[in-house]
Amino acid sequence: MTESSTVDIKNLSGLRVGVYHPWLKVGGSECTAYWSAIALHEAGADVTLLGPDTASLSSLNEAFGASTKNSIGDKGIKFAPLPVKQNLRLTGYSGYLRHFDQVARQTVDQFDLVISAYNLMDFGKPGIHLIGDLTFDHKLNETVDPTGTVSKSSMHQLATRMARPIINHFLPKPDIRDLYQKGHQIVANSIWTQEILKDYYQISDIPILYPPVPPVPGNLDSESREPNTFVYIGRISPEKQIQKMIQILSEVRKHHRVKFNIVGEIPNNSYGQSIQSLVAEHSSWITAKGRLVGNEKYRELLSSDFGIQGRENEPFGIAVAEMAQAGCILFHPGNGGQNEILNHEALSFHSDQNAIAKIVKVLQLSSREKEDLRSSVVSLSQRFSIDRFKRDMIHVTSAGETRIAESFQGSVHLKGHHLQKDEDQGVKPLERTSQSIAARLLANPKEQG
């Protein structure tokens, strides 16, 4: 599968744009940061990608640009490493993000427009914030995803919990309502995320920007795939529900001899150790492949017959779309933004038993029926192409510029670079349900789907 590397949009000439990300490793939000920078550059903007000085451009290019022969450096996009302290153990996740905000604020005056490619940032002036998950609000995140806490020692959890109010007092985190009222543009990564934000914070103007999914190079035919082999790719952490996937496939093995390959770096903590123990216990059919990027990852996907995802209420799920685009017949929970990627009744499940029944049923299909299902999965996932993202990113940037300019009451702060929105260019989201899924979930956090 190939895809053109440029989109013919040249409308932001001379606009100085800073795209910020606090880690710039190889996750889903980093993919959004990477392709946001390229999209804006191809639209004529003078783009700088900013992240910690530990970031590796070669790793980013390998992870996100290999399949399209794109490179941040070759494109002429500048990279500005920020001197961020990495060893903030006591203050943890929240403390690191506040520290990153402080360092980043010293650079924002260099740009006409600033964009946070991962959640909210305290820029000190209006900007665009691409929401990737709900971790910026600890209470909301725990309500929607009670499993989403990182597995650490109880002493570390206690220390972090005690430190959080102190951090928030001296280094206040950005408040989404306050940012919105000051003219910032908040952008959701799915209808599901949009509904959560609208219902919880009572703010209305939240456009949707589905993340980009790099094309998978290679042959999607089934001939090169290992029959009845399942793959999971992504982070190895509690909210990803690795144990649940193993339990489901263990039950499936009572009917079909499936295998399971886990792709992702297993952390050196108690949760990681529990996963390692499970892999060792079931070593006859489970293999931990470790972290794979670029062509190594694509080879793994193209050799896999099926994919599986266990996380409930995934805000979007780039890995879900990536597995589907690679032709893996993908089973996933029937809720969250991931349901907007496939929305296929035969593949979405609402309980472990439902998942087992659906997987067994698909495994019993004829070869022709399975290939028809595979083709349907690939077709649905192609709505999230790189070219589509580039167009949508420019539209979101235009809308954000307009909103920010209005907050300055006619200021020439953004030089008046605006686009006419083409309704036919963007991904058409699924229609909203008559009753908000998000409203039901927030009213009853235990309700799934």
Q: What is the pLDDT along the chain (449 residues), one digit of tens a residue?
A: 445 444 445 578 889 999 999 999 988 999 999 999 999 999 999 999 999 999 998 899 988 987 777 778 777 899 999 999 876 555 667 788 988 999 999 999 999 999 999 999 999 999 999 999 999 998 899 899 887 654 444 445 555 566 556 655 556 789 999 999 999 999 999 999 999 999 999 998 999 999 999 888 877 777 789 999 999 999 999 999 999 999 999 999 999 999 999 999 999 999 999 999 999 999 999 999 999 988 899 999 999 999 999 999 999 999 999 999 999 999 999 999 999 999 899 999 999 999 999 999 999 999 999 999 999 999 999 899 999 999 999 999 998 988 998 887 544 344 443 333 334 444 444 443 334 545 555 666 544 44
In a shared domain, residues 45 and 93:
yes
Q: Ramachandran region of residue 212, left (φ > 0), alpha (ψ -120 to 50) or beta?
A: beta
Evaluate whether residue 44 is within a structural domain.
Answer: yes
Domain boundary among 384, 405, 422: 384
Q: Domain check: are 232 and 178 in the same one?
A: no
Same domain, 316 and 418: no
Which two three-digit tokens encode residue 218?
Answer: 């290679």
For the CA atoms of 188, 25, 98, 41, what is the dihedral angle to 10 degrees? -60
User: 340 with 305, same domain?
Assistant: yes
H-helix or E-strand spanning residue 402: helix 386-407
Q: What are the residues facing 286 on neighbouring strands? A: 260
CATH number of the domain bearing residue 269: 3.40.50.2000
Looking at the domain assignment, is residue 11 inside a domain?
A: no
Of 367, 384, 401, which residue is a domain's last? 384
Identity of the residue numbered 296: E
Q: What residues have CB less than 8 Å from 93, skipping those under 6 apart?
A: 135, 150, 160
**Domain termination residue (choose one: 384, 402, 423):** 384
Domain identity same for 371 and 391 = no
What is the tally of structural domains in the chain?
A: 2
Of 364, 399, 148, 126, which Cα lies nearest the Cα of 258? 364
User: Which range of residues forms the domain containing residue 427?
Assistant: 16-212+386-443
pLDDT at 297: 93
